[in-house]
Amino acid sequence: MSIDVFLVDDHRLFLSGVKAELSEEFRIVGSAHDVDTAIAEIRGYDPDVVLVDVHMPDGGGIAVIESVGETNPGVKFLALSVSDQAEDVIAMIRAGARGYVTKTIEPPDLADAVRRIHAGDAVFSPRLAGFVLDAFAGAIPSDQDPELDQLTAREKDVLRLIARGFAYKQVARKLEISIKTVETHVSSVLRKLQLSNRHELARWASKRHIV
């Protein structure tokens, strides 16, 4: 029941270092130092976990994750990089990586990370954890705004549609009421929320993720 691990890194020295450190505990089924052979070999071996470098020629780790992900959805990826840049982390997670650790990691911690990735965990270096948490927290505010409570049900209906960019006429048609009624509701909403026009209203709504 050992875990099959595949390594991808364009620095061969680093590759052999990782291999040496992990081979005691895991079965290293293979390794590659460029994107194309990595994709081909991972498809063949179908390992449990792939450690993949972020920055490589010909597309980097993203290309590997996206290509393999389509054919071998069971393979889990752990990004391993010198970079702790937000955009790199985001890009890898978007591509489908289940974790991201920097190369400053200690060998025992890396082994632990591989185990956790295989168990289904998400793994991030301590420094990146806070960043990921912040982004996650900002992702879906969604809580009840007390300001929304001052609005009546119908006003909220109108607000939602206005926030989506519909013209008064379209809102009227969707709610099956007259344009004049839509105007009345919008006026009430603007007054209650202390806004001056529908553009500010749309902005107010988008900031609150009311869509």
**Residues found near DNA in the complex (CB under 7 A):** 152-155, 167-169, 175, 177-181, 183-187, 190-191, 196-199, 201
| Binding partner of residue 94 among DNA, a second copy, none, CB cut-off 5 to 8 Å per kind | a second copy
Q: Are 206 and 159 in contact (CB under 8 A)?
A: no
Residue span 60-89 as binding mask against a second copy, x where in contact by CB under 8 A, dash where not: --------------------------xx--
SS3 211: coil
Stretch that binds a second copy, among 6-14, 42-50, 131-139, 183-191 (CB under 8 A): 131-139
Crossing angle of helices 126-139 and 86-95, in 10° steps, is 70
Among 36, 108, 119, 173, binds a second copy (CB under 8 A): 119
Minimal distance in Å, beta carbon 141 to DNA? 24
3-state helix, strand, coil in the chain (%, to 5): 55, 15, 30
Under the binding rule (CB under 8 A), the answer on residue 121 touching a second copy is yes
Give the shortest CB-122-to-a second copy separation in angstroms: 4
CB of 107 vs a second copy, minimal distance in Å: 15
153 contact choice in DNA, a second copy, none (CB below 5 to 8 Å, kind-dependent):
DNA
178 binds, among DNA, a second copy, none (CB under 5 to 8 A by kind): DNA
Cα distance between residue 56 and residue 146, in whole Å: 49
Between 28 and 202, name the residue whose CB sits nearer to a second copy: 202
Helices (H) and strands (E) in the chain, counts: 11, 6
CA dist 188 → 157, 159, 178, 182 (Å): 13, 10, 16, 10
What's the CA angle centered on 8, arms 3 and 10, to 5 degrees?
155
The least CB distance from residue 152 to DNA, in Å, is 3
Q: Coil, strand or helix: which one is 116?
A: helix
